[in-house]
Structure 1
């Protein structure tokens, strides 16, 4: 290392200014003008030149070894972390399996007890009915013999002697028939599954319903109707703005699947979009006075109009741009509208005896096989909706203060009249398929079961509520009113 690479001579000099080692030839050829020159032999005597290099090298060596060790530990820890993920997945799988094993044991125990109880009750009833059959059969033989072979006197004597026995038999049988029950067992999973270790009451991923119902209720089996409570989230005033010809009147409301609210303004002929804070984020000018609106999909709504006999389909983008997609004609004046299934609407009419009709998404129309009230409803005096799970139509009669619930399968109806329902306007399907009705004169939302029972009534702080709709997940309800000069749009949370 002490030989000059260029001249092959011993490195004898060190030039401070250029921090360079040189041989005698380098010094003469390249550094004759330099003044800061020292002889290497003299510097070596005065300085411990390699000590600082050793310290630096040892420092680098130590730090590099630490880095290498750290990397090795990181690689090992990464491997352990990955193994831990699969171990956690296995633990979760074992817990889920245990949960379902516990569920099976729980369901078996509960259904066995219920089944034994019901079978015992049914066996007793069956035994009584078999006795009724035996007594009736024996008595029939006597009566038949008297009718075929007896003299008039004998027939009279038989009738008198057996009258009390037959009446008692008939009475006993009627009592048993009135107490007939059908046993049902159903199980519904909760929306979330909680993993053990948890108490079994929390651990069971669903609700077991054991129930006995009368034959009249066999058409639709549902859990006990829950009472819906409402908590106001937000309220805005509906006032005439610069581009409005009149004070707004929202004749139709519905929620898009993503939670945005669609409203149609009958007076100013608009379709509007609101976000969850009731901030207007989109608007579309219509050429007619709209009546009702329904969300058809994530980005499409359908709007009815009584005066122009058509249904419009509007495209509503995620960025709240609204355009007209298509239109088809209808033969009736349509007001309220909701989805029957993926291919059909249920529309409420006015000025027609066919109060509720079925319209396909391509425009074909047909009628329900329902015995509707034989009358015509003028505009804004009736509204309707459809309960898909139980195949029922709900119809309001504003000035009769009545709500009709029609069962399509049996062509029967329940008539609901109550002091809490005065001038019912709009109607919507709420949580657990309950019915929510806007009661205009009591300024409230009334909750009705499908059997016609009044479950609750929520007093509103607005006058003359007219339209109500419920979000797709049944957790938010929107309400608007018709009170001139103090119209509002409000959102409520349902629990």
Structure 2
């Protein structure tokens, strides 16, 4: 079966033939020379018969990582919707208050909306970056998942052993990348604050009407 490059040495582009237990590394013949002095350097053919985790178990771990990536993507979409809604609410509040103090709100609306859209521009860029990174993670997970699914049907013992060893390193990368993106995941909410006495606002000018930007951590829980 096609392992989509998982049975090829990433350093030298050759078929994987060995596994170095000292460095937890799959090796080709070139790597084998470099690891020749290691205490445990086994040929794949000699160790592939050993018991390894079933691909169906490994698949469940990958599916969890995929679900985490999906959650990040969904949170990005939800955050954008929330930002748009909060900006719509700001506009409504501003117009309602402007009916009562038109001159003040003519000045305040321009300033506040500019600030809100500036925040939106920055936040959308950040969310787009998280979405793009999460989509890339998901694509990589799906590639490994396709190999895992194929292993369940057609994989040889050698291929299952290689997949297992390769999987350990790759899934650590998936979890690390998802955790990194999760730490960047926040929800930004914008509201307006008005002083109690409009007379005070009129006396002090439009600077008493301020944009509140609340960012709330919304990262998904890590898979254990």
Normalising by structure 2, we get a TM-score of 0.49
Larger radius of gyration: 1
Higher RCO (C-alpha under 8 Å, 6+ residues apart): 2
**Which has more helix, going by share of residues?**
2
Normalising by structure 1, we get a TM-score of 0.23
**Which has more strand, going by share of residues?**
1
